Chains A and B, each alone.
Chain A
Amino acid sequence: AQKITQTQPGMFVQEKEAVTLDCTYDTSDPSYGLFWYKQPSSGEMIFLIYQGSYDQQNATEGRYSLNFQKARKSANLVISASQLGDSAMYFCAMSGGGSQGNLIFGKGTKLSVKP
């Protein structure tokens, strides 16, 4: 069975500094996708970044990068130059390979950016 683990319930970071949010996963599928979503206090889910299991390079999207270490089954999110607007819940998610079609989430990390 697939599983996503986020071990940091809450994190603090100083504005303009970088922060890493941890995510480990477990799956027996050779093909899968890893995602990060942001949920601000307003409640909507915002897609941030995607990494495929066969991608050779780490994904990057602006200030977001995904540190993908396949052998360790980790997919950590790195946010560079934190901004006050980055304060939110962050969820790591994994999609099943092939026709499984499911998309499961971790419990999330609450990031607070201090001015």
Chain B
Amino acid sequence: NAGVTQTPKFRVLKTGQSMTLLCAQDMNHEYMYWYRQDPGMGLRLIHYSVGEGTTAKGEVPDGYNVSRLKKQNFLLGLESAAPSQTSVYFCASSYDIGDTEAFFGQGTRLTVV
């Protein structure tokens, strides 16, 4: 059972470079989320999607873009990486956020130098 898969697991970027993080889920979930986790800050919601073709901003959306062209995939893009975007990124998905838990990927550790 794959569940939620994040690609890549580790990445080092130079300031100004761009990259895309891929999140794929095989559970037919409607809701998908991207978070960043920084020490002492918990998980902060970057963007989320309530269904294919929809996206919405979370708490810390600046510097990131997302797309949900297919129901099973949620992409997080960094157009011009900055050292402040050094973090661990988690993707999650849920069938119905009202009363079911979210399933998380293993995380992506991104370092911007």
Contact = CB atoms under 8 A, between A and B. Distances in A.
B104 A45 contact: yes
A103 B94 contact: yes
A97 interface: yes
A103 B48 contact: yes
B97 interface: yes
Given A33-B99, A107-B41, A102 B56 contact: yes
Contacts of B97: 33, 95-96, 101-103
Interface residues of B, number: 29
Interface in B39-62: 40-45, 48-50, 56, 58-59
Nearest to B50: A101
Contact of B42 (A31, A44, A91, A102): A91
Nearest to B44: A105
A84 interface: no
Contacts, number: 66
A52 B99 contact: yes
Interface string B84-103: 00001010101001111111
Given A103-B45, A103-B92, A104-B45, A44 B98 contact: no
A12 interface: no
B48 A102 contact: yes
Interface residues of A, number: 25
Given A47-B101, A102-B48, A103-B33, 15 more contacts: A9-B40, A31-B98, A44-B107, A50-B101, A91-B42, A91-B43, A95-B97, A95-B98, A97-B98, A101-B48, A101-B97, A102-B33, A103-B48, A103-B92, A107-B42
A-B interface, 8 closest residue pairs, ranked by CB to CB distance from nearest: A107-B42, A101-B50, A45-B104, A47-B101, A105-B43, A95-B97, A105-B42, A108-B42
Interface of B: 31, 33, 35, 40-45, 48-50, 56, 58-59, 88, 90, 92, 94, 97-104, 106-107
